[in-house]
């Protein structure tokens, strides 16, 4: 488990992370979201001991990262997929990591197979595409068979099959009882992957809740209607107090009623329907509602934190 206790980081006059208190629990995928510069990367760096907090603590299993006896066997992380010596092969990179933690070479071959890099294992990492670098980074994270995984934007550079693979991998790791913390800008993918969401803005905690609860902050389920002549249906819907939007000719977006009721009213009014479907709440909409008043911090030179 990851526990943040009053975690704070200040860069001069800029408060990048502001007294974060939260816990990331095992057995589920926790998604980390926030606008650019919200403090996500700074928070992850403090969890991994790469940055020192100005105040507060970041604990892994009750201990700071620097006090872990076997860090690679406890935490696997990918913050920068390109952080590999370009002249080393994928296999030699993993073997060097493995030997630093007394991990047998057979584990190197196992993780190469898991991430689909066995055939490319002898190639120099400097020639890898971003997607292949992501796979190598994930292999490094899995090398020590850790109980806690941290992935920062792991789907960058991956094709659709690779994105689905990451989704299946992270969910399977959580199902094994591991702690999985995942940061991503792809809202649709996060909605399919995460069980729990942590949203931060201006370095502060905005939301720490199950996915379903966060979705409640977005517009609710709506009914989409396509009809060549919907006027009588619109009149009937408005008479019942339903909300009706007309985004395009022959199209309606109906709220405050059910899809069954829309169908009944269309039948009574003699309106031919070409489509009648529901449109559920999206994470993108809920995220916008949560973060619309949380503009990001920047350094004095304009670079986001």
Per the CB < 8 A criterion, the answer to whether 92 and 33 are in contact is no
Residues 6+ apart with CB under 8 A from 233: 225, 227, 252, 262, 265, 266, 269, 271
Q: Tokens at residue 160, please? A: 């659709």
Please give the share of the chain, as a percent, with pLDDT higher than 90: 75
| Sign (positive or negative) of CA dihedral 57, 63, 69, 74 | negative
Per-range mean pLDDT, top range of 16-30, 149-163, 240-254 = 16-30
The answer to whether 32 touches 183, Cβ cutoff 8 Å, is yes
What is the mean predicted confidence (pLDDT) over 35-52? 93
98: pLDDT confidence band, cut at 50, 70 and 90? very high
Domain spans, the chain:
2-210+285-291, 222-280
**Averaged pLDDT, 208-215:** 89
For the cut 70, the answer to whether the pLDDT of residue 97 exceeds it is yes
Q: What is the pLDDT of residues 214-234, one digit of tens each?
A: 887 666 678 999 999 999 999
Q: How far apart are CA 61 and CA 46, in angstroms?
A: 15
Whether 222-280 and 2-210+285-291 are alike in CATH topology: the answer is no
CATH number for the domain running over 2-210+285-291: 3.40.50.300
Q: For domain 222-280, give the CATH number.
A: 3.30.70
Between CA 287 and CA 189 the distance in angstroms is 13
Rounded to the nearest integer, the mean pLDDT of the chain is 90
Whether 302 has a pLDDT exceeding 50, the answer reads no
149 vs 255: which has the higher pLDDT: 149
Distance CA 103, CA 144 (A): 7
DSSP state of 263: H
The pLDDT score that the predictor gives to residue 42 is 94
CB 220 within 8 A of CB 230: no
Whether the CB-CB separation of 246 and 252 falls below 8 Å is answered with: yes
Structure tokens at 32: 């980390």
Q: What confidence tier does 305 reach under pLDDT thresholds 50, 70, 90?
A: very low
| Mean pLDDT for the stretch of residues 173-191 | 92
Q: Which residue has the tokens 């909409």?
A: 285
pTM for this structure? 0.79
* Calpha distance 275→260 (Å, rounded): 13
Asked if pLDDT for residue 295 goes beyond 50, the answer is no
Residues paired with 200 in a beta bridge: 205
Separation CA 129–CA 117 (nearest Å): 12
300: pLDDT strictly greater than 90: no
pLDDT band at 6 (very low <50, low <70, confident <90, very high): very high
Contact 136, 125 (CB under 8 A): yes
* Among 31, 22, 32, 20, CA closest to 1: 22
């Amino acid at each position: 488990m990851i526990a943040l206790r009053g975690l704070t980081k200040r860069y001069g006059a800029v408060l990048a992370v502001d007294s974060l208190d939260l816990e990331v629990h095992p057995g589920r995928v926790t998604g980390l979201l926030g606008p650019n510069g919200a403090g996500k990367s700074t928070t992850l760096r403090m969890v991994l001991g790469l940055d020192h907090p100005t105040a507060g603590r970041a604990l892994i299993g009750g201990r700071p990262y620097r006090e872990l006896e076997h860090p690679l066997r406890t935490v696997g992380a990918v913050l920068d997929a390109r952080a590999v010596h370009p002249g080393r092969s994928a296999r030699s990179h993993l073997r060097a990591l493995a030997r630093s933690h007394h991990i047998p070479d057979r584990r190197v071959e196992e993780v190469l197979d898991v991430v689909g890099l066995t055939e490319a294992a002898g190639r120099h990492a400097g020639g890898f595409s971003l997607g292949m670098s992501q796979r190598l980074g994930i292999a490094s994270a899995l090398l020590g068979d850790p109980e806690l995984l941290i992935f920062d934007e792991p789907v960058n550079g991956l094709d659709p099959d690779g994105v689905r693979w990451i989704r299946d991998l992270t969910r399977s790791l959580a199902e094994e009882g591991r702690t999985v913390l995942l940061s991503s800008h792809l809202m649709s993918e996060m909605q399919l992957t995460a069980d729990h969401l942590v949203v931060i803005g201006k370095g502060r905690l905005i939301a720490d809740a199950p996915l379903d609860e966060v979705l409640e902050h977005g517009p609710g389920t709506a009914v989409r209607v396509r009809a060549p002549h919907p006027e009588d249906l619109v009149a009937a819907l408005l008479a019942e107090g339903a909300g009706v939007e007309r985004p395009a000719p022959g199209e309606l977006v109906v709220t405050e009623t059910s899809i069954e009721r829309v169908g009944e009213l269309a039948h009574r009014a003699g309106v031919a329907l070409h489509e009648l479907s529901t449109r559920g709440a999206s994470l993108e909409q809920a995220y916008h509602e949560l973060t619309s008043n949380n503009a990001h911090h920047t350094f004095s030179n304009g670079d986001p934190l």
